[in-house]
Amino acid sequence: MGFEGVGFAFGLTLLAGLATGVGSLLAFFTSNTNTKFLSWSLGFSAGVMIYVSMIEIFVKAKDSLVGVLGVTNGSWLTVIGFFGGMILIALIDKWIPKQGNPHELKKVEDMEKQPKKHDANLLKMGTFTALAIAIHNFPEGIATFTAALQDPMLGIPIAVAIAIHNIPEGIAVSVPVYFATNDKKKAFRLSFLSGLSEPVGAIAAYLFLMPFLNDVMFGLIFAAVAGIMVFISLDELLPAAKKYDEAHTSIYGLIIGMAVMALSLLLFI
């Protein structure tokens, strides 16, 4: 694997992770949340991730494993890897403290709703949220990096989809920390740092997975990546999109995301 390919994959992963900082900046420099656009974009991200996972990544994983292990064993191992990825991200979700649930969405308007004074509980909640998002972003970093490493044109839409869903997570970190401390720099710093676990996941994938990469390992990783992204879409993106939803905006975003992903794959056949 060439250095340029690795650098490109890492760069995509870094950009996706830094979107939490974008969410934090939005919280500071806009006066209200465009809920319609946010609902649409989160639905769009889910559509991209579900379609590419089931139509492209799962199929590539199966082809790789079947080519080495045969139809029966390869098919079974693909399914095991897929649900293994789901179980991994579900366990991560279970271990996260409830105080830092990254699914507890915030709006920019929340910045002005409470007096800005030091509040240890709010600071604790913001810190837990940052930690929870960092833990979530680690396997997302592995997913983005490995997908982009295998196929750069596949990695770009995945990175964009993950970046979009990182924006409201950045807001979720900034709001309680800013409430607690009245310190925008501290709120931004925690939000920014939570996103950096995504490129850390990419580094871990490069150091610990790439040296052992063969057709079987690749197939298992890709199957797990597909499972991780489907779980994230169903457990995080779609519920978040529905929370902001206005007149079925999220489902339209979902369908358009699938259509854009389908078209992009067809154009590169």
The whole model's pTM is what?
Answer: 0.74
Q: What is the pLDDT of residue 65?
A: 95
32-80: pLDDT as tens digits: 556 677 788 788 888 988 998 999 889 989 999 999 999 999 999 999 9
Q: What angle do CA 172, 102, 124 make, to 5 degrees?
A: 70
pLDDT tens column, 128-185: 777 777 887 888 888 889 888 888 887 888 888 888 878 877 877 777 777 777 778 8
Taking CA atoms, 227 is separated from 49, 71, 123, 139, 239, in Å, by 10, 20, 33, 11, 18
Q: What is the pLDDT of residue 79?
A: 97
Binding-site members are: 137, 140, 165-166, 169, 198
> What is the amino acid identity at position 43?
G
Type of residue at 128: F
Give the model confidence (pLDDT) of 199-252 as tens digits.
Answer: 999 999 888 888 877 889 889 988 998 998 899 888 878 887 877 666 688 889
Q: What domain range is 88 assigned to?
A: 3-267
Phi, psi (deg, nearest 5) at residue 114: -125, 150
Binding-site residues from annotation for Zn(2+): 140, 165, 169
Residue ranges of the annotated binding site for Fe(2+) are 137, 140, 166, 169, 198
Determine the pLDDT at residue 76: 97
- Provide the domain count of the chain: 1
pLDDT tier, 254 (very low <50, low <70, confident <90, very high otherwise): very high
| Helix, strand, coil shares, percent, the chain, to 5 | 85, 0, 15
